[in-house]
Structure 1
Amino acid sequence: MNIAEYTIRKSVVAWVATLLVLAGGWLAYERLGRFEDPEFVIRQAVVVTAYPGASPAQVAEEITDRIEGAVQQMQEVEEVVSVSRAGESLVKVEARLAFSHTQAELDQVWDKLRGKIAEAARALPPGAAEPVVKGDFGDVFALFYAVTGEGYSPRQLYDYVDLLRRELVLVPGVARVALLGERREAIYVEVSSARAAQLGVPLERIYASLRAQNLIAPAGAVDAGPLRLQIQPADGVVSVAALGELVVAGDAASGLLRLRDVAEIRREYVDPPAVLMRHDGQAAIGLGISNVLGGNVVEMGDAVKRRLAELEGQRPVGMELNVVSFQSDSVRAAVAGFVDNLVAAVAIVVVVLLLFMGLRSGLIIGAVLVLTVAGTLIAMWMDGIAMQRISLGALIIALGMLVDNAIVVTDGILVRMQKGEAVGPAAGAVVRGTVWPLLGGTVVGILAFSAIGLSPTDMGEYAGSLFWVILYSMLLSWLFAITLTPLLCAAFLKVKVEAGAREGGLLRAYRRLLQGVLARRVASGVVLLGLLAAGVLAFGHVPPGFMPDSARPQFVVDLALPQGTDIRTTAAVVAEAEAKVSAAPGVSHVTSFIGQGGLRFMLTYSPEDPNPAYGQLLVDVARFEDIAGLIERLQPELEAAFPQASVKVWKFMLGRGGGKKIEAAFRGPDPAMLRRLAEEAKAIMAADPGAVAIQDDWRQAVPVVRPHFSVEAAQRAGVLPSDIAAALERNYVGQQIGVYRDKERLIPILARAPADERGGVEGLGNAQVFSATAGKYVPVSQFVERVDTVWEDALIRRENRFPTIKAQCDPPA
């Protein structure tokens, strides 16, 4: 007695198992996580170290090199890539797959990394900030909004967005809420050095008065009968105007000199801004919402929608919450599409088999298909495979193969029953003769996808669920074919015994074809070889690419202006590009990011690092099919309109995103030689008319103002080089001298010179520095011997501690 006969004999147990599979499949369908892309573990962390005032070369030698050395002591590290720029070191660390298969393992790697960085921090030079390790570099913000409000100030926009942030982070399923493009505020105290000198008020006394304001300090406690009361002094400065009333000099007899007498006090936005965002031409603040690991993005999106509806009454009139990306809707549509495909597959199976095998056979095989899908959903739930584009694609691919085993068994039983055999012996004989051939065919079908699932690469991890879902579904199709299919045949298959049944016309035609092929073996072999050769030749004309283009109705425009461009200039260029793109037919919305890329709103999107010379447009279209034509039109149009910029118009692809498609890398110790080699490579790329966005990743060298000071004169005046540098920073940019408390917000107080004293380079010598010898502030011009303008690399990139420059371009999208 084989497994088919045993299943029929134990039919009660088999029917219970069938019902359990159906119920379990439904529960798994309801509980499975839902995402747009697989939960790919992004094994990158970023170590950021500020080194104010240092040049890129100084940052590379004194900060980056030490951080890289500490990181490379870890065996868990796969690659270390660094970018050194003026005042900041950014080191990207990628972990090895062998040590970080899961997020929990990766977190352990980052904990070890933090320990190594803490040890290295003790060897950093004075003036360097504490290194910060950011392990959430790969967070995906499944919901991404742009909050706009015509006529509202950036502060009013921020107040509303901050309210949403505090409320939405409490929604079930939400892991993190991040903002993008909010304008930072500061209180500027512009002290005229001439006015202060005229009144005899040392600037340092003014700064000391401001530093002491709004500091929280313990005031003790006092007994009050049975109680012990804490003493909490009220804030001395309750408004920006109150800052002006601070006494900075004088006394009751000679008169009091207040801050407003020597300084102009303003609360305004930090200029220049670090990053800007716009939506359809209006200033915007981005609001990104990420999902908890393994959660259901559809449920999270629905919960966020409900909470936003509850908060609708607190939305100021005129402010709009615009959707930039909303994964919940696309995932819901993808799951609904799978269900439609499943229903269609069952209907097609029933209809086709109705024509060739009869209604009952068709319904039996359709029922086995549904059971196989239900069992596969249970296996996915147990293995932690969510419903996303790869796993759903695997199920849709498998639908065409899952019926094969059941058809073989059902047809065999049907033929034997037509010859008069009882269903039990017929099922046993059919399964006994086909069980191992069917298993062999199933294994061959599974192995066809094994290279994807067992690949030890990032792409194997991204698309690995394709293999595992097909493995589970096809093994279950084989198992159900030899167990539940005989059970269903025994219960529902009714046939008439036909002695000496005649062959149909289709069967006779097939028999004649088969006999003809066997009779002409040589000719048949030649034909097969010819078809094989034709297939090999035709394969050369198939467009290369492992992953297809995404069907997302969005595309991207990258604009890279010459390195060193002010972000306000970049914003003006991006605004012109917005107008041109918005005027193109089929474009519905344009969201722009200036100074860096957007939040990672999908797994395959890699945001660009902060750079004031960079801008990006995210363009929504009404129909995905229009994107190819728009790219073909906009690429040359934008290149002609902005010859000073590197322009790239591109569309999203599935799989890991980011980076250029064509790169030539050069590594070595001499930056000048590296640049020369990169220029030669770019010239070769430029000779190809199809190459677009030709650039190198070090970007252009930038001019730097370099004043030379007389050390002897400075020493005589009791002035240190750091004093002169601080005076220049205070004069042109502003130096933080205190903090102003505005409820829960801490707003920096910055001291700087008035606008007429912080002009161009020619006014550099007018900055005031305190001379300990003279006991007063003196102009920096007393110590300046000359001022040079020199060119230096704005970015120094290294890979595994080797300076590396890449000449890059892209083919037409």
Structure 2
Amino acid sequence: MIGSTNILNSGGQINLGDERIILEPTGNFNSVEDIREMLITVGGGNQLVKLGDITTVSQGYIDPPTQRVRINGKDAISLHVNLKENANVIELGEEVNKVVFDWQKRIPVGLELTRVSSLDTYIDVKVNDFISNLMQSIGIVLAVMLIFLGIRTGFVIASLIPIVTIMTLMIMGLMNMGLNQVTLAALIMALGMLVDNAIVVAETIMVKMEQGIAKKQAAVEAFTELWMPLLISTLTTSAAFLAFYLSPTTMGDIVGPIFVVITIALLSSWIIALTVITTFCYLFIKVQPKGERKQSIIDRVINALKGKYKDLILVALRNKYKIIIGIFIAFFASLFGFGYIPFIFFPDSDRNMVTIDINLPEGYKIERTTEVVKKLEQYMSDSLKVNDKQKTGILDWSSYIGEGPESYDLGYSPDEPNSNYAHILVNTSSFNENVAVIERLDNFTFNSFPNADIKVGALGAGGSGTPIEIKVSGSNPDELSKISETIKQRLSSISGTKNVKDDWGPKSKKFLIKIDQNRAQTAGVSSSDIATSLQTVLDGFQTGEYREDDKSIPIIMRSSAGQQQSLASLETLNIYSQTSGKSVPLLQVASIEPQWQYSKIKRFDLRRTINITSELREGGNASAITAEITPWLDEQKKNVWTIGYEYEFGGDAKQSAESMGSVIGYLPISGFIIVLLLIIQFNSFRKMGMVVLTIPLGIIGVVIGLLTFREAFGFMPFLGVISLAGIVINNAIVLIDRMEIEQKDLGRSEQDAVIAACLQRFRPILLATFTTVLGLIPLYISGGEMWEGMAISIMIGLLFGTVITLLFIPSLYSALFKVSYKGYEFNEELLE
């Protein structure tokens, strides 16, 4: 009757002269009092009474609640603010702070507004840190220029840095690219590479001026000689990063801007080096002819190093095949060394934030979940909260019961709503306190809640999932559960695992109302009558909607609160027949039987699938654990499991395979572009092959660096490897191009041309290495765990890559072009 009375429907239209007028019947409830005053029939339709006389009509919240929010131990309401596309999160944070400050003055005493997650503050701090890192890197590169090249030449080359930086930022602005960790890190990575062009140009002009060539002529010849090889080396370096930009994965979206920023910076550097730096060299650099110039201390050091390098290169060229074989042996040894490097796809976030996920056994009431949360909150307040006596620990926390909050960080994904679930977001006094807080919370929850599944951990920086996840698919739930138990036992026995569980959980109880259809029909009740009566007594039955302003509020009819969720109430429950208007006892037409069922049955690709997951203990290695359990899984699938049951890895393993696999899938495009550019530059397959062979050799230094500094390999170090390949290619191109110039343009013999090119490019390559390596030190020290592995990969990899370039390229060149050094007498003029 409530639904048929409370209508909001059109009555049609009626003709009135030349018009058609809408008819609109009234009857919808305008207030709660209207519902109370509504007349209903009772006693077989012979008597009318007001609904409010026989029921209690009230307006309130859902009872029991489906979710609750608590902040610092007090009941609260949570408000989540999302960022629009291309909006500035820092500016949004400032606007939110203004609103919070304004409302703090308006709200009644006893209420307060608290920001529980401030991504804008974190990003603001990180961006400022990266700007500081960028300034430090610029200062370091400038210092290296001044020390190695002198005041005048150093300032000429260093002038490229602010010009290129400003050009890059302007172009980024035109492309709507903002400053963030990734774009600023790209600028830091590009610093050492972009001064390389200026160093090569200035060094070439200075050498020509030392040879007695006039300034203007020296500048013109340097421009003519270098514009093409420098452009090719710039484009090949940029092409190395192209795969990250093309990758359609989440990680591609994160690091893809590195390709754009580095491409803009390097092309800007190429333009400025060939125009502005060439002009500055003509205007400001003064070089005396050989023999007249007084050498500085740095010049003497460089010349001494060049002399040592000359001896080393002669030994290498006379034993070129041994050098080539030795370097390839070192390369394959480094591949073997990769097995000793732990794999972490993405490190934990460096935010001062800890999360707690609570899952009680399936079917637990939200009231019980709330009790667990309150007990945990009390422990945090008593033992971990920062106060006058305890200066470090937990600042504040927010608890979300029944349903997690909206996504507040890339490393967090909301779980499914459930009365047995809770999520607690904890803000600590500093990132360094996270480990201690996690350890104490882990111990407390383990000892206090033995029947609960509680995960305490840090946020993942890249949205990474569970370290170990195994998906098993099949048709029979019982068989899947049995397989899951054996996998959990095997996984728990492997060192380094903890919190091993599956996502179906233990079976939960339910009561089956078995209806005797013959007795029900005799009594005049239907299955629908029984279900409606049960729903009315227990959860409530929706009979209509009450409209208030622009909101629709469900009208729920249910029995008194004392009868809700009580098994005893079922035994005395009367079933009301919609047709006869009579009631019969439930036990007269049905029986109540307890039954166990799976709490959840999940599907993946339309197949029943159970996920077995595991966290890692301190020092645990996901890749090693995966490698250990894989043969056992294959054996189980082949010899134990029923046909049709399959497994696959998910979690970090799957995410890393998808992200890194996607990048690797686009590397052939980068490789094709690089090969094409090299053929254009050298018009020689052998010379192109020489450059390509140098690309993987940088891995030697990467492995040594990661093992020495005990860094894990993952997505960011992988980015470092690709970056290193671009830099090594750059050095190889410039070196081989110089060999051609020495031989074709200067008429030197093949033996002299190789050695002269190496000595000529020794200082520029050395300087480019120093500027890149030293310029990355601030990023390594202050960039956080996310950038440490990448910085180490580039820094140590480039140090070894430089040695390989200066020894491997000339050795390989002399081998491929059959340049013999037997009986060769070194021409001392090549050192001048």
Q: Confirm whether residue 570 of structure 1 aligns to residue 369 of structure 2.
A: yes
Cross-structure match for 1:595: 402
Q: Per-residue displacement from partner, 1:521-547 (whole Å, max 9, x unpaired)? A: 359949968976886676554432243
Q: Confirm whether residue 549 of structure 1 aligns to residue 348 of structure 2.
A: yes
What is the CA distance between 1:723 and its match in structure 2?
1.5
Cross-structure match for 2:424: 617
**1:426 and 1:316 mapped to 2: Cα distance?**
79
Q: Confirm whether residue 768 of structure 1 aligns to residue 563 of structure 2.
A: no
Alignment of 1:355-370 (within 5 A): 355-370=147-162
Q: Confirm whether residue 753 of structure 1 aligns to residue 552 of structure 2.
A: no
What is the CA distance between 1:405 and its match in structure 2?
1.2
Q: Secondary structure at the match of 1:597?
A: coil
Alignment of 1:60-459 (within 5 A): 208=1, 210-211=2-3, 215-216=7-8, 240=32, 243-248=35-40, 257-381=49-173, 383=175, 385-417=177-209, 421-455=213-247, 457-459=249-251
**2:241 and 2:340 mapped to 1: Cα distance?**
23
Q: Is the 8 A contact 1:214 1:741 kept in 2?
A: no
Task: Give the one of 612, 623, 647 matched to 2:454.
Answer: 647
Cross-structure match for 2:514: 708
Alignment of 1:694-705 (within 5 A): 694-705=500-511
What is the CA distance between 1:790 and its match in structure 2?
0.9
**2:251 and 2:32 mapped to 1: Cα distance?**
55
What is the CA distance between 1:724 and its match in structure 2?
0.9
Q: Is the 8 A contact 1:578 1:617 kept in 2?
A: no
Q: Is the 8 A contact 2:575 2:583 kept in 1?
A: yes
Cross-structure match for 2:602: 797
Cross-structure match for 1:631: 438
**1:414 and 1:649 mapped to 2: Cα distance?**
62
**1:507 and 1:667 mapped to 2: Cα distance?**
65
C-alpha RMSD over aligned residues: 3.6
**1:295 and 1:742 mapped to 2: Cα distance?**
35
Q: Secondary structure at the match of 1:628?
A: helix
Q: Is the 8 A contact 2:167 2:268 kept in 1?
A: yes
Residues 445 and 293 (structure 1), Cα distance of their counterparts in 2 relative to 1, 3 Å cut: same
Q: Confirm whether residue 560 of structure 1 aligns to residue 355 of structure 2.
A: no
What is the CA distance between 1:311 and its match in structure 2?
4.7
**2:261 and 2:614 mapped to 1: Cα distance?**
37
1:790 is aligned with what amino acid? Answer: Q
Residues 621 and 537 (structure 1), Cα distance of their counterparts in 2 relative to 1, 3 Å cut: farther
TM-score, length-scaled by structure 2: 0.65
Q: Secondary structure at the match of 2:114?
A: strand
Q: Per-residue displacement from partner, 1:296-323 (whole Å, max 9, x unpaired)? A: 2233333343444555554333322211
Q: Is the 8 A contact 1:349 1:365 kept in 2?
A: no
Q: Per-residue displacement from partner, 1:620-641 (whole Å, max 9, x unpaired)? A: 1111122123323432332222
**2:22 and 2:246 mapped to 1: Cα distance?**
65
Q: Is the 8 A contact 2:358 2:452 kept in 1?
A: yes
Cross-structure match for 1:726: 532
What is the CA distance between 1:235 and its match in structure 2?
8.7
Q: Per-residue displacement from partner, 1:184-207 (whole Å, max 9, x unpaired)? A: xxxxxxxxxxxxxxxxxxxxxxxx
Cross-structure match for 1:687: 493
Cross-structure match for 1:114: none
Count, aligned residues = 599
What is the CA distance between 1:440 and its match in structure 2?
4.6
Residues 757 and 546 (structure 1), Cα distance of their counterparts in 2 relative to 1, 3 Å cut: closer
**1:453 and 1:775 mapped to 2: Cα distance?**
70
Q: Per-residue displacement from partner, 1:139-181 (whole Å, max 9, x unpaired)? A: xxxxxxxxxxxxxxxxxxxxxxxxxxxxxxxxxxxxxxxxxxx
**2:116 and 2:280 mapped to 1: Cα distance?**
50
Task: Give the one of 501, 506, 524 matched to 2:301.
Answer: 506
Between structures 1 and 2, the one with greater strand share: 1
**1:611 and 1:376 mapped to 2: Cα distance?**
50
Cross-structure match for 1:810: 615
Q: Is the 8 A contact 1:418 1:497 kept in 2?
A: yes
Q: Secondary structure at the match of 1:267?
A: coil
Residues 257 and 455 (structure 1), Cα distance of their counterparts in 2 relative to 1, 3 Å cut: closer
Residues 436 and 628 (structure 1), Cα distance of their counterparts in 2 relative to 1, 3 Å cut: farther
**2:438 and 2:399 mapped to 1: Cα distance?**
17
Residues 400 and 641 (structure 1), Cα distance of their counterparts in 2 relative to 1, 3 Å cut: farther
Residues 647 and 304 (structure 1), Cα distance of their counterparts in 2 relative to 1, 3 Å cut: closer
Residues 759 and 384 (structure 1), Cα distance of their counterparts in 2 relative to 1, 3 Å cut: closer
Q: Work out the percentage of aligned pairs sharing the same amino acid.
A: 31
Q: Structure 2 unaligned runs (5+)?
A: 385-391, 619-832
Q: Is the 8 A contact 2:7 2:26 kept in 1?
A: no
Q: Is the 8 A contact 2:359 2:454 kept in 1?
A: yes
**1:592 and 1:604 mapped to 2: Cα distance?**
18
Q: Per-residue displacement from partner, 1:313-371 (whole Å, max 9, x unpaired)? A: 54333322211222333333333333333333333333332223233333333331222
Q: Is the 8 A contact 2:475 2:607 kept in 1?
A: yes
Q: Is the 8 A contact 2:246 2:256 kept in 1?
A: yes
**2:459 and 2:579 mapped to 1: Cα distance?**
64
Residues 728 and 338 (structure 1), Cα distance of their counterparts in 2 relative to 1, 3 Å cut: same
Residues 516 and 475 (structure 1), Cα distance of their counterparts in 2 relative to 1, 3 Å cut: same
Residues 747 and 256 (structure 1), Cα distance of their counterparts in 2 relative to 1, 3 Å cut: same
Q: Structure 1 unaligned runs (5+)?
A: 1-207
**2:503 and 2:368 mapped to 1: Cα distance?**
21
Q: Is the 8 A contact 2:116 2:397 kept in 1?
A: no
Residues 493 and 546 (structure 1), Cα distance of their counterparts in 2 relative to 1, 3 Å cut: farther
**1:557 and 1:311 mapped to 2: Cα distance?**
30
TM-score, length-scaled by structure 1: 0.67
**1:714 and 1:724 mapped to 2: Cα distance?**
9
Q: Is the 8 A contact 2:348 2:458 kept in 1?
A: yes
Cross-structure match for 2:542: 736
Cross-structure match for 2:265: 473
**1:480 and 1:530 mapped to 2: Cα distance?**
41
**2:334 and 2:254 mapped to 1: Cα distance?**
29
- With 433-442 and 630-639 compared, the bigger mean Cα shift is at 433-442
**2:571 and 2:560 mapped to 1: Cα distance?**
15
**1:627 and 1:647 mapped to 2: Cα distance?**
17
Residues 234 and 673 (structure 1), Cα distance of their counterparts in 2 relative to 1, 3 Å cut: closer
2:453 is aligned with what amino acid? Answer: S
Q: Secondary structure at the match of 2:66?
A: coil
Q: Secondary structure at the match of 2:265?
A: helix
Cross-structure match for 1:787: 592
**1:710 and 1:732 mapped to 2: Cα distance?**
21
**1:689 and 1:561 mapped to 2: Cα distance?**
26
**1:759 and 1:559 mapped to 2: Cα distance?**
24
Q: Is the 8 A contact 1:213 1:738 kept in 2?
A: no
What is the CA distance between 1:764 and its match in structure 2?
1.2
**1:666 and 1:236 mapped to 2: Cα distance?**
53
Q: Secondary structure at the match of 1:705?
A: strand
Cross-structure match for 1:677: 483
What is the CA distance between 1:588 and its match in structure 2?
1.0
